[in-house]
Structure 1
Amino acid sequence: MKPFPVATALTIAGSDSGGGAGIQADLRTFSFHRVHGTSAVTAITAQNTRGVTRVDLLPPESVTAQVDAVASDMRVDAVKVGMLAQRPLIEAVADQLARVSLGPIVVDPVMVSRAGSQLIDNEAVEALRSRMLPLAAILTPNRHEAKLLAGMDIQTLEDMREAARRIHALGSRVVLVKGGGMPGALRGTDVWFDGTRMETLSVAPVDTPNTHGTGCTLSAAIAARLALGAPPLEAVRLAKEYVTSALRYPLAVGHGNGPIGHFFPLIHD
């Protein structure tokens, strides 16, 4: 049979042994969107629905070799960048992405958890700010990451808009400040800013504790839509719809905060 042409996306991120986030979530998200998923693993984590017990970082040379292997053989229509935990790795990947011709880059700046715990040291934060953000076609910080990047507290919708303006000045073409961690009625409201157009994107929040992997999934879904040729704002809107649907059908696995249902049409009766 004649091979079937398909868009291709690359995820550069950490592995989640529990399968809810990281490259596992990214690859499932790509597959849902009928996009061929490729990967460069940056870290191996031992984790499940209850937490992370160990993190082993791969050498920068190993990560860039994975990217080279993919990019030298396939057309990469979009890239999702996730967990880059240390400055040397951030610099190596940034140098490579600036050098290699790939599709638009979606950066999920994995710096601070939704609960507010900083996940990487200050040197890595500065490297992300100076080296990775200018490469991003779309940057997707959560509330606490936006607070760190913008240097301001974020409590209101206008705070989110001002943070988006400040972060955009750091070089990303589009900034999407995510509101999943916002209080009250702002939960589920994101702010989009491309330097000219400011949009407020809202969906009805889904009441479930099983939200593991939502940030990874959103950025991967945006990358998948970009790989398929969607304009940036449409890609974000469609990605938000996908994540909201997946949140409505979380998976009953483990004894903690479980993953969302990436393949919800297959399990929905």
Structure 2
Amino acid sequence: MTFASTAAQSPAQSPAVVLTIAGSEATGGAGAQADLKTFQELGVFGIANLTCIVSFDPNDNWNHRFVPMEQQVIADQLEATTAAYGAAAGAPSGGTEPGRPVLDTVKIGMMGSPATIGTVAAALAAGDFRNVVLDPVLICKGQEPGHALDTDQALKAEILPLATFVTPNHFEAESLSGLVITDVESLKAAAIRIHELSGAVVLAKGGVRLSGPDAVDVYYDGETLEVLSAPKVGEVAVSGAGCSLAAAVTAELAKGAAPLEAARTAKAFVTAGIRNRVASGAPFDALWQGGSR
């Protein structure tokens, strides 16, 4: 299968620069590792600022072992990245060097704690980001329930209002919308509700969670409501699919694609990656970002 980006760039152009603020996932299937591989495949220059380190525990039903980064370390990463690639980098007058790519697109992944959410929200509010793509990771398996709830509430209060594009999975779409999602029609209703609450473009993922032969996602931007579907590849979720979908949207937006085209490209990219997934000794497969090749 040959994969063609909807916003391909000339080799003579500098690549668009994109940032993921996310956790490290030790097996390489998800998190910042998946984001960076997706960025590379789609022809953008990827940067990762880490919020936490997650290691699955094979001796405890593959639950997460979760270690947050210190807040100063997170702030230092964000400071270095925005100083190097932000809109005013190297130009006190607020300009940039002619032809130099500017970091105006960021993907938000695993935060892990209210403190981290506050640090990241402050950086987003102070920055000049045209696109803020939120993959609203609400639960980290293995976290204390109370801590997870505090994190969820902080994410909704502090990060969601800053997002321009949000990609909730089935569980996250239910949590954000307050609706029960059992079929495509209720997934549509959830996407509309999340847009109304946030103002962001929404790509709500049904994936394998909804019955039927197709993996179905719903796009809604306030005007256009479109169902994106592709035949299911198995009935079990694949590690890294959600991260890679949001990262693909991020890459395409950075290159100038319209939101709907970015969503369509991301859907095709992830479907190819699931079809060519990578097996391991873990009880789940990982999406291969090179699957579209």
CA distance in 2, matches of 1:249, 1:76: 31
**Quick check: 18-27 or 154-163, which moved more?**
154-163
Deviations 1:11-59 (A, max 9, x none): 0000011000000000000000111110110001112787244110012
Q: 1:220 to 1:162 in 2, by over 3 A?
A: same
CA distance in 1, matches of 2:148, 2:140: 13
Corresponding residue for residue 6 of structure 2: none
The amino acid that maps onto 2:150 is: E
The amino acid that maps onto 1:5 is: S
**Quick check: 156-165 or 205-214, which moved more?**
205-214
Question: 1:102: Cα distance to partner?
Answer: 2.5
1:109 pairs with one of 136, 143, 159: 136
**Quick check: 57-66 or 202-211, which moved more?**
202-211
Structure 1 unaligned regions, length at least 5: none
CA distance in 2, matches of 1:24, 1:223: 15
Matches within 5 A, 1:84-163: 84-112=111-139, 121-163=148-190
Q: 1:113 to 1:140 in 2, by over 3 A?
A: farther
Question: 1:129·1:170 contact (CA, 8 Å) conserved in 2?
Answer: no
Corresponding residue for residue 245 of structure 1: 272
Matched position secondary structure for 1:179: strand
Question: 1:43·1:55 contact (CA, 8 Å) conserved in 2?
Answer: yes
Corresponding residue for residue 228 of structure 1: 255
Question: 1:99: Cα distance to partner?
Answer: 0.9
CA distance in 1, matches of 2:21, 2:255: 19
Q: Report the TM-score when normalising by structure 1.
A: 0.90
CA distance in 1, matches of 2:126, 2:215: 36
Corresponding residue for residue 72 of structure 2: 61
CA distance in 2, matches of 1:138, 1:239: 13
The amino acid that maps onto 1:156 is: D
The amino acid that maps onto 1:71 is: T
Corresponding residue for residue 97 of structure 2: none
The amino acid that maps onto 2:252 is: R
Corresponding residue for residue 168 of structure 1: 195
User: Alignment length, in residue pairs?
Assistant: 262
Corresponding residue for residue 45 of structure 1: 54
Identity of aligned residues (%): 37
Question: 1:101: Cα distance to partner?
Answer: 1.2
The amino acid that maps onto 2:266 is: A
Question: 1:186: Cα distance to partner?
Answer: 7.2
The amino acid that maps onto 1:70 is: T
CA distance in 1, matches of 2:163, 2:120: 13
2:36 pairs with one of 11, 27, 30: 27
Question: 1:149·1:167 contact (CA, 8 Å) conserved in 2?
Answer: yes
Deviations 1:179-232 (A, max 9, x none): 114321275111111122211111111127571110001000110111111111
Q: Report the TM-score when normalising by structure 2.
A: 0.83
Structure 2 unaligned regions, length at least 5: 1-11, 86-101
Matched position secondary structure for 2:122: helix
Deviations 1:83-106 (A, max 9, x none): 011112112211210111134011
Matches within 5 A, 1:174-185: 174-185=201-212
The amino acid that maps onto 2:80 is: A
CA distance in 2, matches of 1:197, 1:265: 27
Question: 2:167·2:204 contact (CA, 8 Å) conserved in 1?
Answer: yes
**Quick check: 190-199 or 140-149, which moved more?**
190-199
The amino acid that maps onto 1:256 is: P
CA distance in 2, matches of 1:233, 1:119: 36
The amino acid that maps onto 1:241 is: A
Q: 1:14 to 1:91 in 2, by over 3 A?
A: same
The amino acid that maps onto 2:197 is: L
CA distance in 2, matches of 1:209, 1:37: 29
Q: 1:252 to 1:143 in 2, by over 3 A?
A: closer
Question: 1:108·1:141 contact (CA, 8 Å) conserved in 2?
Answer: yes
**Quick check: 188-197 or 48-57, which moved more?**
48-57
Q: 1:127 to 1:113 in 2, by over 3 A?
A: closer
CA distance in 1, matches of 2:237, 2:152: 28
